[in-house]
Amino acid sequence: MKGRVNRFLCVAAVLCAPASILAQTPYTRADAVQAALDRGARLGVARADTAVANAALITARAFPNPTLNLTYSKDAPHYHEIADIPLDFPWLRNLRTQSARLGLNAALLRYAFARATIGLDADTTYTKAIAARERLGLSHRTALDADSLLHMVERQRDAGDASDLDVELARVNAGQQANAAAADSLEWISSLLDLQAVLGLTSERLEISATDSLGAPPDVPAPGAKTLNEAAADLSLQSAAAAVQLQRRSVWPAPSISAGIEHGAPDEKGLLPTFGVGIGLPVFDRNRGAIAEAEAERLRASAELTLAHVEARNEIAHSTRERENAIARVTRDRAVVASAERVASMSLTAYREGASSLPNVLEAQRNAREVMAQYINDLASAWIATAELRVLALTPSTTSQP
């Protein structure tokens, strides 16, 4: 049994050396976020949506091309060269351009929100990785302390100051702590593999190490009146409303003017000018399909805006309360950790002097370990809630275009 405990401790000790044995490249939190933005596949979808919206604006700004008709008739004059020039009314062109421009602005905000979301995913995964590293370090120290306690109890038994029951109890405790260290090492490796996946690394072995410490989280600005997602949804609704107005004003097709020349008449020498006006007549269709489609898009945009408002306010409320509660717990945990460590140390001293029993020592050490683990978890929760609020606090004025 003793050899098995020592093997568990050796495994835990090896797994506690990530920078020198397992991982290759050290990553800070900022490095991880930037790598996720550089390699993230999800960002390409948002970038493509922005390109589509920009192409729609280019199309909306384009003037219609003229048409050149070259015809021949048996009647004189025989040859006709006529150009048809569509008329693009300014009020229709302005509405078309306005709708496309609002759509592009909405796509830019969604791109910025996608970047922020990818950064949040990397930040959160990084926090979980360093929290797992801290829990592994705690488990490793606890396992070593349990093994030292086992040796001390064995020496006291040999000296007649402890019983075989104490030795068996200490041996059980040492084995449990070694198993806990091995389990935490696997959790730490899994968290680093998750971080590699977020960063776009496809290797099956560990190639990175998280180097930042799990200290107090930074301050976060207060969320504004609109999040990026809300602002994008609002612009999409304005774009859809302009599209509806455009389609309603396009019941009559755009007219055109014709200008050209005729020649080839035996009794007429030279070129003969010809002019005309083309007027579309809404006889069979009054643009009902396009109007209905635009109205449906406006209704969907309105529903998406309402959903964005509800989700944003709910996320802000949850993240704010989670951060406040986590910060409060961290403050209490600091005092509790110090007290629990003193109790564990005093209990061990009392056991050496024969003034306390071994179960009291094990209980004090267990309490200290649980309090420290809770402190690590509360710090990680505070970091995650802070990162979420940082994303929710972004506004259109604080983001940059791709």
Helix spans in 210-249 (H): 228-248
Cα–Cα distance for residue pair 305/293, rounded to 1 Å: 18
pLDDT at 119: 93
pTM of the model: 0.82
Q: Find the length of the chain.
A: 402
* Angle, helices 358-392/164-198, rounded to nearest 10 degrees: 10
Number of domains in the chain: 1
What is the tens place of the pLDDT at every residue in 337-395?
999 999 999 998 898 888 888 899 899 999 999 999 999 999 999 999 999 999 999 88
Contact of 136 with 15, CB cutoff 8 Å: yes
Beta strands in 73-170 (DSSP E): 79-86
Query: Over pLDDT 90: what percentage of the chain?
Result: 57
Q: 142 — alpha (psi -120 to 50), left (phi > 0) or beta?
A: alpha
Give the residue, 221 or 131, on which the prediction is more confident: 131
Q: pLDDT (tens digit, 9 = 90+) per residue, 292-351?
A: 999 999 999 999 999 999 999 999 999 999 999 999 999 999 999 999 999 999 998 898
Sort strands 208-210 and 25-27 into parallel, antiparallel or unpaired: parallel
Residue-wise pLDDT for 278-295, tens only, equals: 888 888 888 899 999 999
Nearest Cα to Cα of residue 228 among 77, 118, 393, 32: 393
> E-strand spans in 128-286?
208-210, 256-263, 272-278
Enclosing domain of residue 92: 2-398
The answer to whether residue 74 scores a pLDDT higher than 90 is no
Q: Does residue 206 contact residue 18 with C-beta atoms inside 8 Å?
A: yes
- In the three-class reduction of DSSP (H, G, I as helix; E, B as strand; rest coil), residue 41 is classed as coil
204: phi then psi, degrees, rounded to nearest 5 = -90, -5
What CATH number is given to the structural domain containing 28?
Answer: 1.20.1600.10
Q: Which two tokens stand for residue 70?
A: 């070259």
Helix (H), strand (E) counts: the chain: 8, 6
Output DSSP code: residue 199: T
The tens digit of pLDDT for each residue in 36-64 reads 988 866 788 888 989 999 999 999 999 88
pLDDT of residue 105: 95
